[in-house]
Amino acid sequence: MVDLRRSDIKTPSAAAVVAAPVAVALGIGLLTAAPAQEATAASPAAAQARPATPPNIVLVLADDLGWADTSAGRSSLGARSRFNDTPAIDRLAREGTSFDNAYAAPNCAPTRAALLTGAYAPRPQNNIYAVSDLNRGRKRALLVGPKQGINDDEVLPASAVTVAETAKRAGYATGYAGKFHVTKTPGQVTTAHGFDENWGGSRAGNATDYHARNGRFNGRISPSLDRFAGAYTQDYVDERLKPHANGTTVAAIDALVGTPKHVTDAVADATIDFIARKKSQPFFAVMAEYAVHSPVDDAQARQDLLAKYRGKRAGSKRFEAPTQDRAAQAKRARPSYAALTEGLDQSVARLTHYLETSPDPRRPGHDLADNTIVVFTSDNGGRTDLGASNGPLKGQKSEMSEGGVRVPWIVWSGNRRLVRPGRINHSPINGTDLHPTVAALAGVRIPRSVTTDGTSLVSALRTGKRLTLPRFAHFPGYVRGPSRDQRPQSFIRQGRWKLVYSYENQSWKLYDLRRDIGERRNLAPRRPKVVQRLGKRLVRWLDRTNAPLATVRKGKRPIRLEVRGLTYANGKVKRYGRVRKITVRPGVELPIVLQRRPAGKR
C-alpha cells in the first residue's frame, strides 16, 4: 500500500510552504447514448457470473467544473488551466483512462437524472431537461417548452430504477454525500432511489453558503451532513488538509483552526466515513461536491486557498485558454473560483489517499485502491462568466454548444487490470453509460423491464476499445439571460460529426469537431449527404423515445411550412414524398423538419 502523505512539511516558519502530494480521483460525463438496450445493459459475458470480489466503485461528481479547468488537460485535448492547481485530478488522468469526448446535459438536474437512471431525458423514468423549468427567460419567446419531471418539478419518479438499486441487487452498500437535486425530499434519496445512506442530499440545486454556521450548513443542504459540520480543529488540519496542500503556507492552514467547516471538506468527510464503515462488503459511493457552483466569491472560498490565489499572478505562463485574449484570461483566473476548484481537488486527494492506505478486508494483503474504480466528472460545462474555462469550446453551462455539454471524464484504479493506465480514449460517451457500466462491473443484469440508453464502458477501460455509437441530446425549451441564450434544439454526435437542429428557424448546422471543435464553420450546405444520414437517425431517435417538442406560443401567428421529406411531432414521424404546405397553430408542437435532398446534390 502506498502512503501519499509527505513528511517534508515544515512547521517552524509561518512562511513555510507545504508541498502537496499528487492525489487521485476520477470522472464521468453525460449527454445521451445510442440505441436503447432494453434487455440488459451489462454484456452477457460480464453478467453470467458475478465476480468473487466485485470492485468497489466511487463516483466523484463536480458541479459546474469547466472542461479546461484542470491543470492536466488529458481529458480536454490539451486545453488546461495554468492558474488553477489540480494535482490530484491530474494524477487520476495520468494514471487512469481519460475520455476527451465525454458529454453531459446542459445543466445540473438532467445530468444527474441521466447518471442515476442510465436513460435519456425523454424517457418516462427521467423526463428532466433543465433546472427549474423549460421556459426560463423572456416570456415572449416564439415557443413554449413542455412540462417536465413531476408536475413541472425536476424530480425523478419513485418508479425509476437507479444505478444504486442495481448495485444493491449485487450486494453493494450504497452511499450518497452532497448535492442530489432530483428528489422531492431528502428522505426519498434512501426510500425511493436505492441509497442506504444520504449525507446532505436534498432537492436544492446549490448551497447558498459554502461554510457551516454554528455547526450547521444552510437550509438547502440536508441536515444529515451537519454531523460533519464541526469547526476545524488542529488535528483535522494536521491530518486531513496539510498532507494534501500545494503551495499553501502552514500559517494559512493553521489559521483555519476554530473557523467554520467548508462544505467541500464535509462532503469528503462523509464519503470517506461511509467507505470506512462499509469496506467489508463491495460499496458504491457518490461524492457529489457543491463546488464550483455559484455563489462564487471570496466569502465562499476556504481562506487558506484564497490567500494562495490572491498572491498568484495570472498570465500566459500560468494560465492557458487557447481562444481567449489576455484580458479574458485574467478575468477567468479569479482567486475565489480557483480556490473552490483546488478545494475540490483536495477532496479527491483525500479520497484516493484513504483508498491507497486502507487494507481491504475482502482481499487480505491488498489495499482498497487495488479493487476500487473511481470515476470523476462534472455535471455540465463551466460558467465562463463566473471564472470557469471551457478552453476552445463555444458556449458555457446551459447551452447545447460544446462548452455547455462537454465535460472532463476520468476513470482511475490502483489496479491496472481494472482500468488501463495512462490512456486517452476518444470515444464519445455520456452519463447514461454509468448505470450499465456499474452493472457490468458488479456482474448483475439490469432487468429486461428497465430501459437504459447507455452502454458499458468496461471494454474501453480494460482494453482501450473505441466505442462508435451515436449520442443524442434534446432540449425542448429555453434558458435565456444576460450571458446565456439557449433555445429549443436537438443534436446527434457520431464520430467526427455533430448535427444540430434549431426548431425556431427550422435550420440544420453540421460541424466537423475533429477540425473545428469551436463550432465556427457550418458545413451543412456542403455536406448534404451527411445531414441526411445523421438527420434521419436523429428523427428516428426522437420518435423512438417519444420526445416531447416545444409548442407554438398562444397569441403568436400560425407558422406555415413547405415540407418535402421527414417530420416528427406529437409522437409521430411523417414522410412527405412531394411538397406539402402545413400550418402549425398556437398550442401545437412545432415539428423537426428534414427536407429531402434535391436530386443532383452531393
DSSP three-state, residue 480: strand
Residue 291 lies in a domain: yes
In a domain, 8, yes or no: no
My answer on whether 47 and 149 are in the same domain is yes
How much is the pLDDT for 52? 85
Using one digit for the tens of pLDDT, what is the confidence trace for 499-527?
A: 999 999 999 999 999 999 999 999 999 99
pLDDT for 454: 96
User: Based on the domain organization, do 441 and 523 belong to the same domain?
Assistant: no
The three grid cell numbers given for residue 292, joined into one nine-digit string? 464550483
pLDDT tens digits, 246-270: 999 999 999 999 999 999 999 999 9
Together in a domain, 492 and 404? no
Sign of CA dihedral 34, 35, 36, 39: negative
Whole-model pTM: value is 0.90
Q: Is 9 helix (H, G, I), strand (E, B) or coil?
A: coil
Which of 468, 500, 534 marks a domain boundary?
A: 468
DSSP secondary structure letter of residue 31: S
Residue 1 forms part of a structural domain = no
Q: Give the total number of structural domains in the chain.
A: 2
CA 48 – CA 162 distance, rounded (Å): 21
Residues 463 and 529 reside in one and the same domain: no
Looking at the structure, tell me whether residues 287 and 331 fall in a common domain.
Answer: yes
Q: Which of 33, 116, 65 is nearest to 347 (CA)?
A: 65
Average model confidence (pLDDT) for the chain? 90
The Cα 184–Cα 203 span in angstroms is: 6
Supply the pLDDT for residue 407. 98
Q: H-type helices in 528-570, by residue range?
A: 528-544
416-425 pLDDT, tens digit each = 999 999 999 9
Q: What is the pLDDT of residue 29?
A: 32
Residues 219 and 309 in one domain: yes
Which CATH number belongs to the domain containing residue 226 in this structure?
A: 3.40.720.10
Instruction: Name the residue type at position 462.
Output: R
Q: What pLDDT is stored for residue 436 in this prediction? A: 98
Tell me what percent of the residues of the chain surpass a pLDDT of 90: 85
Does a structural domain hold residue 2?
no
Summarize pLDDT for 448-462 with one digit per residue, the tens.
Answer: 999 999 999 999 999
In this structure, the strands spanning 572-575 and 565-569 are antiparallel
One domain for residues 448 and 553: no
Q: Is 332 left (phi over 0), alpha (psi -120 to 50) or beta?
A: alpha
In the chain, what is the straight-line distance between the N-terminal and C-terminal CA atoms, in Å? 60
The pLDDT score that the predictor gives to residue 314 is 67
Question: Does some domain include residue 227?
Answer: yes
Residue 479 in any domain: the answer is no
Q: Which of residues 414, 436, 468 is at a domain's end?
A: 468
β-strand partners of 296:
none
Residue 481's pLDDT band (boundaries 50, 70, 90)?
confident
C-alpha neighbours within 13 Å on the C-beta side of residue 428: 24
* Residue 514 DSSP SS3: coil
Phi (first) and psi of residue 440, to 5 degrees: -65, -40
Residues assigned a catalytic role? 108, 181
d(Cα 404, Cα 393) in Å, to the nearest integer?
9
Task: Judge if 190 and 243 occupy the same domain.
Answer: yes
Q: Which grid coordinates belong to 140?
A: 415572449
| 488 prior amide bond cis, ω within 30 | no
Mean pLDDT across 10-17: 34
Least-confidence region, from 36-40, 162-166, 383-387, 437-441:
36-40
Query: What amino acid occupies position 104?
Result: A
Mean pLDDT across 199-220: 97
Residue with cell 502512503: 3
Question: Could you report the per-residue pLDDT of 328-372, keeping only the tens digit for each?
Answer: 544 555 999 999 999 999 999 999 999 999 999 999 999 999 999
Host domain of residue 503: 488-595
Residues 591/569, Cβ–Cβ less than 8 Å: yes
User: Which three cell numbers mark 375?
Assistant: 470515476
CB count in 10 Å sphere of residue 293:
24
pLDDT of 431 above 60: yes
* 162 & 70 share domain: yes
Quote the CA–CA distance of 270 and 178 in Å, as a whole number: 9
Q: Which residue has the higher pLDDT, 407 or 39?
A: 407
d(CA 492, CA 129): 16
Question: Is the residue at 174 inside a domain?
Answer: yes
Q: What is the grid cell recorded at 402?
A: 460544446
